[in-house]
A and B are shown apart, each in its own frame.
Chain A
Amino acid sequence: MDSLVQNANPKLQLTPTQFAAIEPNAYILSQLSQRPSSNGVPTRANAREQFEFRDMTVTVGGFTHANGSSTVRIGDTSVVCGIVAEQIYTSEVPSWDVSQASVSANKRRRLASSGKTLLDNDEETDQAYDNEESRHIEDRCLLVPNVTMNTGCTPGYVPGAPPSEDEQSISNNLLGLLRSTRMIQAEDLRIWYQPPNLDAGESDSSNETQLPELKAFWVLHIDIMVMSYGGNIFDAAWTALVAALRHVTIPYAWWDVDKEIVLCSDDASKAHKLSLREMPTSCWFSVFEPQPRPASQDEVARGSLGDGWWIFADPDGYEESVCEENVWCVVSKDKNGKTRVYRAQNVGGSTVDSEVMHNLLQISAKKWEDMKSIIDEVVATGSPRAVAWKGKSYSA
């Protein structure tokens, strides 16, 4: 009401919020050009520097009945992740009893060669084995990540609608990343049965026949719920997934021959954690171009581009709605401090070239160091305790 009274004068005046809603591009541009921070760096509409990430809080172990869970808050975005491990019997896997003649030949060869690898420690075979193992996870659908938007998390969300493209795309990207990072080892998800050696009296020949049998798998249902949508959902979802996976405990399970079922032990000391291989960090960037896209070939020829563009790290919901070009990096560093790229995606515009991309990858690598220490800390403190991280600015 007050604003109405204020606006009673003939000259139309807009409050900043109105301005921001009507002309988002002009609003963000004016903020960038008007509000340099203390050290003279342009500041975004949300008072952050270009490469400044938001504050983050990570909590682990909020759910009692999940095998692993976590909550991640990045600015206004909050995400909950719960992981439940369920067993699936090999007899229930549709194509379990099916073997490709060529593959089974491979299997035989591998069994034979695994003995050899012990002697040679041949890295090549090891990697091939890894590969086959990860395919095992894929073929049997042992990892099922799923992202759902919570009703009311964002004004645009329609309750009861089928999963949106965003949700499906994030779920698929999570699965794709789990595959390409080979984070989870298939061995952690297997439930073996060692048949008793009935004729123990005889020597080595019987060892050959009494191979352990694979009776069941653990299937990890990774459900991520977006409680509040404040931009940059993927980073939050991935961080939550990594934290929750680190927190997962899988009970000791064995095959009961008489009942022909898998039984689980409630002894916590027998339960095992997942041995995760890599833990890369995901970083989203949005590219802000104040100029509208050209409307004709003439405009293209005149070249409206180059009037300036800015990159926003960790964009919030408002910035995301304005920016069309996005950069997504998933990186980590190896033991020697070398940056490894797991995913990179730059799509939606033509401003970011390989040099800029290189810088963004390096920034992401720096963020990885911080993220690693946060998650290590969260997991080490045990559940449930929140670890907060103060948002900070990076430079390549």
Chain B
Amino acid sequence: MAAPIASISDAFRADGSASYKCPVTGYRVLAAVNAPVELPARKGALKPQEATVEVSIRPGKLSPSVVEKSAESILRRMLASVILRRHAGYPRRGVVITLAVVEGEPVGRSGTYLPLMPALLHSSLLALMSAAVPLSCTFMTLFFAVTRSDEIVRDPTPAAIKDAESLHVISFSSTGRTLLDLVDGPCDLDIWATIHQQAKDIYQGAAVPGPDGDISMDEESNNAPGDIIRETVEDRLRRDYRWEFETL
């Protein structure tokens, strides 16, 4: 399985930006975060005690439609639960997240956004970190498909997605909790439970830091999408601190 490609990019104007490409589905998402910003036009909607999170998705080669609205609403609620919206400096302001799908086939009317969820979520997370938005935790997202013969496939290909009976997206926080759980399509409750067990195993095999804060480098850990997030941030930090390391 090819590893996803992620990077924290150097946006000139946005506070934070990142790109994430899922090689299996072929989707590449650019994320930009502006936070905290004043939203003078949304005065009525701003809350005195916390920040307002806004998410917008621009499909690559289609005009945004109702399908995007629905995905935006899921992303907005999911990311709002991760961002510390009551952090000093954030109440009454906005966290504006913009996502553009720059590679991959667009989702049509009545299509499902589930295959895009990992790329959308991971790129948002990286962009949020690059914008130094205070977060309560990081997260990783897993994507499964169940075929007609009730076989569970992790990170299915576009062809497999098209033929799948049901699609599943599960996100775990770095604190070990379920942040997001999405199912689309008919699937037996038993299979649902099996997928959850599998997801948990992958998660636990991956992101359990040892006593010294290190991740054990066994084979399983190479599979977890949480690692790519960590590596990307590490790469970026190494680059940013190079002047300091080099003067050592």
Which of B17-25, B30-38, B173-181, B234-242 contacts the other chain? B173-181
- Report how far A365 CA is from B80 CA in the complex, Å: 30
- Report how far A296 CA is from B85 CA in the complex, Å: 9
**Chain A residues within 8 Å of B88, by CB:** 295-296
Chain B's nearest CB lies how many Å from the CB of A330? Answer: 9
- Report how far A348 CA is from B55 CA in the complex, Å: 14
Tell me if B196 counts as interface (CB < 8 A to partner A).
yes
Q: B185 contacts A324, CB within 8 Å?
A: no
Chain B's nearest CB lies how many Å from the CB of A169? Answer: 5
- Report how far A324 CA is from B186 CA in the complex, Å: 27
- Report how far A145 CA is from B109 CA in the complex, Å: 12
Whether A176 touches B110, Cβ cut-off 8 Å, given contacts A348-B78, A348-B81, is yes
Tell me if B183 counts as interface (CB < 8 A to partner A).
yes
Tell me if B106 counts as interface (CB < 8 A to partner A).
no
- Report how far A357 CA is from B166 CA in the complex, Å: 17
Chain A residue nearest in CB terms to B179? A350
Whether A345 touches B185, Cβ cut-off 8 Å, given contacts A127-B148, A172-B70, A354-B193, is no
Whether A352 touches B178, Cβ cut-off 8 Å, given contacts A168-B66, A340-B188, is yes
Q: A173 contacts B81, CB within 8 Å?
A: no
Q: Give chain B's interface secondary structure class.
A: mixed
Tell me if B248 counts as interface (CB < 8 A to partner A).
no
- Report how far A345 CA is from B87 CA in the complex, Å: 28
Whether A350 touches B188, Cβ cut-off 8 Å, given contacts A169-B69, A341-B183, is no
Q: Interface code B61-102, partner A: CB below 8 Å = 1, 0 otherwise?
A: 000001101101110011011001111100000000000000
- Which residues of chain A in 299-358 are interfacial with respect to chain B, using CB atoms and an 8 Å cutoff? 300, 324-326, 331, 338-354, 357-358
Tell me if B216 counts as interface (CB < 8 A to partner A).
no
**Chain B residues within 8 Å of A345, by CB:** 74, 181-183
Q: B186 contacts A353, CB within 8 Å?
A: no
**Chain B residues within 8 Å of A339, by CB:** 188-189
Q: Interface code B108-148, partner A: CB below 8 Å = 1, 0 otherwise?
A: 11101000000000000000000000101100000000001
Chain B's nearest CB lies how many Å from the CB of A179? Answer: 5
Number of residues from A at the complex interface, CB < 8 A: 51
**Chain A residues within 8 Å of B184, by CB:** 176, 180, 343
- Report how far A296 CA is from B86 CA in the complex, Å: 7
Tell me if A141 counts as interface (CB < 8 A to partner B).
yes
**Chain B residues within 8 Å of A138, by CB:** 108-110
Q: B109 contacts A169, CB within 8 Å?
A: no
Chain A residue nearest in CB terms to B175? A350
**Chain B residues within 8 Å of A354, by CB:** 178, 181, 193, 196-197, 200
- Of the candidates A181, A278, A361, the one whose C-beta lies within 8 Å of that of B192 is A361
Q: B186 contacts A180, CB within 8 Å?
A: yes
Chain B residue nearest in CB terms to A358? B193
- Which residues of chain B in 188-206 are interfacial with respect to chain A, using CB atoms and an 8 Å cutoff? 188-190, 192-193, 196-197, 200
- Report how far A175 CA is from B74 CA in the complex, Å: 16
Q: B67 contacts A300, CB within 8 Å?
A: no
Q: B110 contacts A175, CB within 8 Å?
A: yes
Tell me if A10 counts as interface (CB < 8 A to partner B).
no
- Which residues of chain A in 162-217 are interfacial with respect to chain B, using CB atoms and an 8 Å cutoff? 165, 168-169, 171-173, 175-176, 178-181
- Report how far A361 CA is from B50 CA in the complex, Å: 32
Q: B67 contacts A172, CB within 8 Å?
A: yes
Chain A's nearest CB lies how many Å from the CB of B58? Answer: 16
**Chain B residues within 8 Å of A296, by CB:** 84, 87-88, 134
Q: A297 contacts B69, CB within 8 Å?
A: no
Q: B134 contacts A324, CB within 8 Å?
A: no
**Chain A residues within 8 Å of B69, by CB:** 165, 168-169, 172
Tell me if B187 counts as interface (CB < 8 A to partner A).
yes
Q: B66 contacts A341, CB within 8 Å?
A: no
Chain B's nearest CB lies how many Å from the CB of A185? Answer: 16
Chain B residue nearest in CB terms to A173? B70
Tell me if A292 counts as interface (CB < 8 A to partner B).
yes
Tell me if A35 counts as interface (CB < 8 A to partner B).
no
Chain B residue nearest in CB terms to A329? B183
**Chain B residues within 8 Å of A358, by CB:** 189, 192-193, 196
Whether A344 touches B181, Cβ cut-off 8 Å, given contacts A176-B112, A292-B86, A300-B84, is yes
Q: B134 contacts A338, CB within 8 Å?
A: no
- Of the candidates A181, A297, A300, A341, the one whose C-beta lies within 8 Å of that of B189 is A341
Q: A348 contacts B80, CB within 8 Å?
A: yes
**Chain B residues within 8 Å of A107, by CB:** none
- Candidate in B80, B184, B193 with the most chain A CB atoms within 10 angstroms: B184
- Report how far A242 CA is from B66 CA in the complex, Å: 21
Chain A residue nearest in CB terms to B191? A341
Tell me if A294 counts as interface (CB < 8 A to partner B).
yes
Q: B186 contacts A341, CB within 8 Å?
A: yes
Tell me if A293 counts as interface (CB < 8 A to partner B).
yes
Chain B residue nearest in CB terms to A327? B181
Chain A's nearest CB lies how many Å from the CB of B240? Answer: 20
**Chain B residues within 8 Å of A341, by CB:** 166, 183, 186-189, 192
**Chain B residues within 8 Å of A69, by CB:** none
Chain B's nearest CB lies how many Å from the CB of A77? Answer: 19
**Chain B residues within 8 Å of A340, by CB:** 186-189
**What would 14 A/B residue contacts be, using CB atoms closer than 8 Å?**
A138-B109, A165-B73, A175-B110, A179-B110, A180-B184, A180-B185, A331-B189, A347-B81, A347-B181, A347-B182, A348-B81, A353-B178, A358-B189, A358-B196
Pairs A-B, 6 closest by C-beta atoms: A295-B86, A350-B177, A344-B183, A346-B181, A354-B196, A339-B189
Given contacts A131-B163, A176-B70, 13 further A-B contacts (CB under 8 A): A169-B70, A175-B110, A292-B86, A293-B50, A293-B85, A300-B137, A340-B186, A340-B187, A347-B81, A350-B81, A351-B177, A352-B181, A358-B192
Q: Which A residues have a C-beta under 8 Å from some C-beta of B?
A: 124, 127, 131, 138, 141, 165, 168-169, 171-173, 175-176, 178-181, 278, 292-297, 300, 324-326, 331, 338-354, 357-358, 361-362, 365
